[in-house]
Each structure stands twice: as C-alpha cells, then as structure tokens.
Chains A and B, each alone.
Chain A
Amino acid sequence: MKSLRRNDLVMLGIGIVIFAVLQVLITERIMSSFWQLNVIIIGINVIMAVSLNLINGYTGQFSLGHAGFMAAGAYISVVLTTFFHVPFALALIAGAAGAGFLGFLVGIPTLRLRGDYLAIATIGMSEIIRICIMNIDYVGGAAGFKGIPHNTTFAWVFFIMLFALFFIKNFVNSDGGRACLAIRENEVAAESMGVNTTKYKVMAFTIGAAFAGVAGGLFAHSFYLISPNSFTFMQSFNYLIMVVLGGLGSITGSIAGAFVVTFISAALASWPEFRMIIYALALILLMFYRPQGLFGYMEITDYGPFRKILKKGGRDDG
C-alpha cells in the first residue's frame, strides 16, 4: 500500500516535469500563439473528458449533457469576476459548486432512467440550461458575454487538470469508485452488495459536473467573449467522442482522447469543409474496428514498462 503513495509522487513528479517543459516553450515564445491556445484547450478538454468518463465510463450512466454543466460553470464564474471582481480562484470554485449543484439535480432523474432515455434527458437538461442563459439579458443573452478578464493561464489549466486527474483516479480506486464500477457492471447485484445505487449515481453526476464547471470557468477566461452557442449539445458529443476514443473507463484513455481530438481539430482547421466529414467517418470506423477505444479499461500503468517504474501495489491506476 505504501507503494501507492510512492506511485502518486512519481506521477506528480512526471507532471511537474511536463509542466516545466511546456511553460518554458511558452514563455520563450518557441510555441506559436495558435498552439499556445491549443495547449490550454487540450488541458480543459482533458478535464472535461475525465469528468465525463467518471459518469459515462466508470458509473455507466449515459450522459450527453456535459456542455451544459460547463456552461453553468463558465457563466457563474465570469459574472463573478467581471461584475463583482471576485478573485479568479474563488470564481472557479463558485462555478464548480454551481455546476455541481446542477449535476446533483440532473443526477436525481437518473434514478429512474436508463441508457438511451438518460442520454436524451441529459441533452434536454443541457439545452434547457443553454436556452435559459440565452434569455438572460444580464449575461448578454444570445449575443454572448463580453469583457471577460483574461485570467486563464497555462499554469492554472495545468494544475487544475492535474488535480482533476488525481481526484478522479483516487476516487475510482476507493470504495466509492468501486461502488460506481459495480453499478456499471450490474446494478441489481451492486444493490445486493449493499451499494446505495442512487447515492453513487448522483455522486458521480455531481463530481463530474463540478469539474465540468471548473473547466467552463477556465474556458471562459481564455476568451474575451463567450456565447451560449459554445455550449450546444454538439459540444457534448465532442467530449463524449474523446472519452469513447480513449476508452470508457480509462483515465489514460481520456487524456489521450482529449489530445487526439483537439490535435485533429486543430490540424484540420485549414480544411473546415472536410474536418467534420473525416471526423464522422473516423467515429464510425472506430466503432466498427475498435469499439472499446484506444485503451479499453486499461491504464498506461497496466502496460509492461510502466509496471516496472511504478512498482505495483495492488491495482492502482494513473
């Protein structure tokens, strides 16, 4: 068990090295501003993907409304920073709390819904959130919210991302996470093993939504203007695709998925007319030939070379 703590430290170390390298590339302006923005977007997408993975991959609840939570977090935090000059960190926390509360509300109907029905209900919820924002003139309505302070830096994104990864990794490897996995695998049996399935489904939604809220706050503060149209269900599909591409139930997968999707989008940015067509075909082919995604249920630490670096103590993922 002690090796678990060691693993965490090794991971944290690797994280800090990656951060240092990227930060140097950014401050020395070796990286173009286009890619600087994309690095930030990747970080935000990683947060979105792992948090969605907690709901969809680990708990097996099919949510298609992640962009709605992101919108809630984004709007709550920009109102606080722009109108009330609340410190950025506090605004992010408030955004997370607000989105988490919505997640809690959305989680409740999941007690009665399954699979496809839940998917549509979550799309519905997120669209309602979006339409409501569109009708609030205070936040700019459909035209969007202007004059947002540019608070999001690479460091903010990176360390919040790291926190999200550790949070969700540790949760998944604890009793609560096992309860979620049990629900995914077999709800009736989970309930028979003493798992209050209602509680854990709602918990997964709340935690997932709270992180989406933080990601929303980071996203909003990377731009001067945000509009409700940045948070349509098409955006939710995008996050779902990252998770599925990487592997439902794999944190490494979510990171990889967020990378690949963001890179492909950025790389195809010059051919917008083909971008979505290629995207669509890739998605269909993925389902045909590798439906479990790049990693399936596996983590990078489950593969040979990494096993040695991180002496395995029990089954711990990273």
Chain B
Amino acid sequence: MAEPLLKCENVSEVFGGLKAVSDFNLYINPGELVGLIGPNGAGKTTAFNLFTGVYQPTTGTITFAGESLLGLKPYQITQKGIARTFQNIRLFAELSVLDNVKIAFHSHVKYGLLESVLRLGRYFGEEERIEEESKKLLKIFHLEEHADEQAKNLPYGAQRRLEIARALATKPKLLLLDEPAAGMNPQETKELMDMIEWIRKEFGLTILLIEHDMALVMGICERIYVLEYGSTIAEGTPDEIKQDPDGAIHAIKGISLTVNQGEIVTLIGANGAGKSTTLRTISGLLKPKTGSITFQGQDIAGTPAHKIVGLGISQVPEGRRIFTEMTVMENLDLGAFIRKDKDGIAADKKRVFELFPRLEERQEQVAGTLSGGEQQMLAMGRALMSRPKLLLLDEPSMGLAPLLIKEIFSIIEDINKSGTTVLLVEQNANMALSIANRAYVLETGRITLSGDAKKLAASEDVRKAYLGG
C-alpha cells in the first residue's frame, strides 16, 4: 500500500494539566474518506486543530505526505495542501460570498504588491482567473446567485456549503470537514453527502470528516475512528463500528413543552438541535422572540435571568462554568446570592455536602483545581443553593468517565426524590432516558417526538438516531 497521506503517531495535547488528546494515532491513505466520531468533548476538534497547526502537540509526530508538520504555522500547512472547515462556522462574515472564496486563492496568486497597487503586469489576468475559478466553485455549491451577498446573510446550510467551497479554493490534497452537516435538516444532509462524494472524485481529494450525524458517517465513510476521552477506542469500517456514539446546530422554533411538578423530564437530540437554547431561554439568558414561558402560573418570558433565579428556577450551565478562581465555599455562597436566611443557607450547605461528600473535603480549595467530576458536582451544588423548585441541567455528563456519569445521574435522581423538579438536557440519551419520567426529542430546533421515557427508549426511530443501534 502507498504511504499514508496523513499520519499521526502517539500524539498528546495537554491544556493546563488536562489531556485533551492522549496517545492519538491515525493514518489516512490517499483518496480515502475517513470519519472521526465520538461524544462531545472527546477531542475531535482538538485533533483537527493539531493537524492544521492551530495547536502544537505536546508530544508525538504528525506527518503529511512524508513531511513533518510539527512547528509549522496554520498558513504553511494550508500551503502544503491541508484545508479545513470549522464546526462553529468561521466565514468572513461581512465580506461577499465571492470574496470569501477569492481570499482562499491567496497561496496561488502570482502577482506582487507593486503590480497590484499600480495595476500592471499580471494583475488583471490573475484577478480574472481568480474570479472565474471562484465562480466555478460557487456554482458547484449552488451559491452562484448569492455571490454578491454578505456571507453573514446566507441561510445556515448555505454558510456551511460556503465553508467547504472556500476550503477547496486553497486547492488542498486533504480536506478536513468539522461537522459539515451540523444544524442541517435531513434533506440538506442528504444533498451534502452527495456533494462530498462528488467533490472527492472531481478534485481527487482525501477527506477526513468529524460528524455527529451517524447516518451521514456510516453512509459515506470508508473507515471510521472512534474517539473517547482523547484516545481512539475503535477503528474500522462502518460495519465494524456499529456502536454507540450519539448524534448531529441551530436555534429553536415553536417549541412547546411542559414539565410537571416532581418530574424528571429530559430533552434529547443531536448536537445543535437547540437543547441548550431551550434551557437558556427558560432561565432568561435568552429572550424568546415569540411565545410564552409559564412557571407556576406566571409568565416569565423575557424576565431577566437574575430575577428568574428568585422565582425558583436554577440552571447548571453547559460546561459547568464554575468560578474557577474562587473557593468551593465561595461558589456555594454565590449560589445562595439571592437568599438572606443565614440558617437556611447553612442547612442547605450541609445538604449539598451530604449529596456530594467530596465537596465538603475540598470546601476551602480553589474550584479550578477540582477534577471534572467534582466541578460538575460543584455546579450542581451551587445551583441547589438557591433552593430551586425547578433545576435545569445542561449536559451534566459531558467529558466525564462512565463511572462518574453513573454517580452523577443517581444523584440527580436523589435530588428529584427530595422534591426538586428536573429538566435535563443530555447527549447521552441512554442515561437520560433511564432516569427520566418523560422525554422530548429535539431536531433542528423542533420537537419531533415526545412521550414516556421508557417507551421512547424502546422506539425504533429513537434507538437508531440517538442510541446507536
């Protein structure tokens, strides 16, 4: 077999003591279409950032077409022939669609500063060529009629396509796609799959793709790497990898959901389906454009977040967001910011420490030094300190080891039993459905299914889409 185009050996990346990627190995042969899958926080995007020089690996080697990529700047790597798209779309928002693509021809422009400023020599010829080639690319991605619009005004799916068109304009050998279908509806996803297949043949590309949409990955990838906690846990053909991972960004439209007192309700759905947006709207960080949110008979839509806490709704935000430079105790004190009853606060602290004994041991420690699991516990404890009637949990399992996830979920059940209603957003649909009374499935900003959690867990559609089987 030919020499792999990209080879990555024993790569580790450490951020402030945390291993984002550890002992990561991967190879891609010329012409292959390879998928990289794994839960949120597994290190997929970090891997891309390592390949493209945004980050430098702490240890290990990365070679591309036989040359080491270590120490190269991102633009040098692009010039070598690796192009990428971004998970959180990074277009040149204020510029026209056409200019977005033209910029990417940068490494292939053959005129100098003087020629451009005086408009001499190759300037006009080159500009004409770039314009022509750019328009050709736009046509492939059905963007030609948007050529003069500002990129930020494109519909979401078109922005994703423009990212790919722009990447192709750098004339890469290897194309890295970071969740190209995120936030797209099934129809758009299907078209995108065809387009990826087509450009691969047309441009003779090698492609590495990060994706949450399992159907997309299984459908087009020849080989798949599964990443978890920063290391590869499996590698093989799609058939070999018919296993767990989860599912596919967008705001929400016309969501209706109810949470009854005493329940645990979960909101599941792919990445970017609008789960977090829903929670953030309830907790008042975002204002709904239309519609109402009623809590205990009172309309709270548009009420500022700090007042909603006073009404009895508390949110554990995604990524925990504890105050890392303050002590555990101070974090808990802030949780009780709205309260004045000293005795009650002390009692609730005691309760939090009963729920999370580890926090008690570490109460004087600065929160940033806690482990990921302990930070999650602190975030939950902090939220409980306002004595909420309704607790909103956003991705409590993110980045945690399975054993810890179990522990956290059993604590969520305990919290619920002691009378707090819970609304849970979770990537790990299996876990979420196992403790919830009812569930809603969110897809591209809409609720597509709802009902009894146990029944949903058994339903064919849900199993396929979110439970990996």
Contact = CB atoms under 8 A, between A and B. Distances in A.
Question: Are A and B close enough to touch in the complex, i.e. CB under 8 Å?
Answer: yes
Interface string B88-117: 001111111011001111110101010011
A308 interface: no
Contacts of A135: none
B94 A297 contact: yes
Interface of B: 52, 54, 73-76, 78-79, 83-84, 86, 90-96, 98-99, 102-107, 109, 111, 113, 116-119, 123-124, 126-128, 130-131, 148, 166-167, 169-170
A contact residues, range? 20 to 34
Interface in A154-174: 166-167, 170-171, 174
Given A176-B116, A185-B95, A193-B104, 4 more contacts: A175-B116, A189-B91, A193-B78, A297-B94
A182 B109 CA distance: 15
A8 interface: yes
Nearest to B148: A315
17 contacts: A1-B128, A174-B127, A175-B111, A181-B95, A181-B99, A185-B91, A185-B92, A186-B91, A188-B74, A191-B74, A193-B83, A193-B166, A194-B75, A194-B78, A197-B75, A203-B113, A315-B98
A195 B75 contact: yes
- Most interface-central of A4, A174, A190, A297 (chain B CB within 10 A): A174
B118 A170 contact: yes
A193 B74 CA distance: 9
A189 B124 CA distance: 26
Contact of B92 (A166, A186, A249): A186
Contacts of A8: 119
Interface string A265-288: 000000000000000000000000
Given A171-B117, A195-B103, A195-B106, A186 B78 contact: no
B368 to A, nearest CB: 24
Interface string A189-212: 111111111000001000000000
B103 A174 contact: no
Given A193-B103, A197-B75, A314-B127, A188 B113 contact: no
A122 B86 CA distance: 32
B224 to A, nearest CB: 24
Interface string A113-141: 00000000000000000000000000000
Contacts of A186: 90-93
A196 B75 contact: yes
B103 A190 contact: yes
Contact of A314 (B113, B131, B167): B131
A29 interface: no
Contacts, number: 116
B74 A192 contact: yes
Nearest to A186: B90
Given A170-B118, A185-B93, A4 B124 contact: yes
Contacts of B123: 174
Interface of A: 1-2, 4-5, 8, 166-167, 170-171, 174-179, 181-182, 185-186, 188-197, 203, 249, 297, 314-315
Contact of B106 (A2, A171, A175, A315): A175
Contacts of A182: 92, 95, 103, 106
A297 B113 CA distance: 23
A15 to B, nearest CB: 16
B130 to A, nearest CB: 8
A8 B116 CA distance: 13
Contacts of A249: 94
B73 A191 contact: yes
A190 B318 CA distance: 29
Nearest to A187: B90
Contacts of B75: 191-197
A1 B128 CA distance: 7
B228 to A, nearest CB: 26
Contacts of B78: 191-194
A178 B102 contact: yes
A170 B102 contact: no
Nearest to A8: B119
A249 B99 CA distance: 15
Contacts of A315: 96, 98-99, 148
Contacts of B102: 175, 178
Which of A174, A192, A249 lies at the interface centre, i.e. has the most chain B CB atoms within 10 A of its CB?
Answer: A192
A87 B114 CA distance: 25
A171 B116 CA distance: 6
A11 B66 CA distance: 52
A212 to B, nearest CB: 17
A233 B139 CA distance: 49
Given A1-B124, A193-B166, A176 B113 contact: yes
Contacts of B166: 193
Contacts of A189: 86, 90-92
Contacts of B90: 186, 188-189, 192
A179 B109 CA distance: 11
A209 to B, nearest CB: 15
A249 B91 CA distance: 18
Contacts of A314: 127, 131
A107 to B, nearest CB: 15
Nearest to A185: B92
Contacts of B128: 1
Nearest to A198: B73
Contacts of B52: 192
B413 to A, nearest CB: 42
